[in-house]
A and B are shown apart, each in its own frame.
Chain A
Amino acid sequence: DIQMTQSPSSLSASVGDRVTITCRASQGISNYLAWFQQKPGKAPKSLIYAASSLQSGVPSKFSGSGSGTDFTLTISSLQPEDFATYYCQQYNSYPITFGGGTKVEIK
């Protein structure tokens, strides 16, 4: 199975900050990488597919990059509604696997 490792596991940031989350795959996954946002008690929301393409309706303050084994999710200017847990996911091969999550908290 492909292991997905996110870092950091949590971070504190202020409104307006630029935030970057990293995801590393245990083997190459091309660009078959997705990012999801989950708020407490809510279902995940799909943000990015194919490492860098925004899902429909997702604001452009979210961006993704990377290919192979190393990927990043960047939030350009953190807003109150962005405080949540973010997960990466590889869908290059079965079983599909998720990273452990990065909790973004208010500083």
Chain B
Amino acid sequence: QVQLVQSGSELKKPGASVKVSCKASGYTFTSYAMNWVRQAPGQGLEWMGWINTNTGNPTYAQGFTGRFVFSLDTSVSTAYLQISSLKAEDTAVYYCAREGGEYCSGGSCYTKGIDYWGQGTLVTVSS
């Protein structure tokens, strides 16, 4: 069965860095892209971007460029989110979420969107 297991909660001081891991199992890691989604306390879901697990090419949403880096270690089926120069407003739960496969209809194929989520990693930034 597909599982995405994320690393544990982090407490960091402003200006520090954090690296969140997302270990995948139950499927071929490089066959499905990985998304990252942020949820600030008491707020909704915010898409941060995605990484092509086959090529390693990342795409970042506006607002998540510069301090945010998506990376991979395909040898251990793991995706990473690194955030540098942490600020209090980075306090949130961060989710990895697998981009599902494709379905075909009428001669064309389309993505199924996000199908599986990690359990989330709470990053707290506080002095």
Residues of A within 8 A of B (CB): 32, 34, 36, 38, 42-46, 49-50, 53, 55-56, 87, 89, 91, 94-101
- The answer to whether B112 and A97 touch across the interface, beta carbons within 8 angstroms, is no
Extra inter-chain contacts (5) besides given A89-B113, A98-B46, CB under 8 Å? A34-B113, A36-B114, A44-B95, A95-B61, A98-B47
- The verdict on B14 contacting chain A, using a C-beta distance below 8 Å, is no
How far is B99's CA from A46's CA once the two chains are assembled, in angstroms?
11
Interface size in chain B (residues, C-beta < 8 A): 24
- The answer to whether A91 and B113 touch across the interface, beta carbons within 8 angstroms, is yes
**Which residues of chain B in 54-91 are interfacial with respect to chain A, using CB atoms and an 8 Å cutoff?**
59, 61-62
- The answer to whether B95 and A43 touch across the interface, beta carbons within 8 angstroms, is yes
Min Cβ gap B93→A in Å is 8
Secondary structure of the A contact surface, majority rule? loop
How far is B116's CA from A34's CA once the two chains are assembled, in angstroms?
13
Shortest Cβ distance from A91 into B: residue: B113
Contacts of A45 in B (CB 8 A): 117
- The answer to whether B47 and A34 touch across the interface, beta carbons within 8 angstroms, is no
Min Cβ gap A47→B in Å is 10
- The answer to whether B119 and A49 touch across the interface, beta carbons within 8 angstroms, is no
- The answer to whether A95 and B114 touch across the interface, beta carbons within 8 angstroms, is no
How far is B107's CA from A78's CA once the two chains are assembled, in angstroms?
37
- The answer to whether B114 and A34 touch across the interface, beta carbons within 8 angstroms, is yes
Secondary structure of the B contact surface, majority rule? strand
- The answer to whether A87 and B112 touch across the interface, beta carbons within 8 angstroms, is no
Shortest Cβ distance from B45 into A: residue: A98
Min Cβ gap B94→A in Å is 11
- The verdict on B28 contacting chain A, using a C-beta distance below 8 Å, is no
Shortest Cβ distance from A34 into B: residue: B113
Contacts of A91 in B (CB 8 A): 111, 113-114
Contacts of A44 in B (CB 8 A): 37, 45, 95, 97, 117
Asked whether A49 and B117 contact (CB < 8 A) given A94-B61, A95-B62, the answer is no
Q: List 20 A-B contacts (CB under 8 A).
A: A36-B45, A43-B118, A44-B45, A44-B95, A45-B117, A50-B103, A56-B115, A87-B44, A87-B45, A89-B45, A91-B111, A94-B59, A95-B47, A95-B61, A96-B35, A96-B61, A97-B47, A98-B45, A101-B44, A101-B45
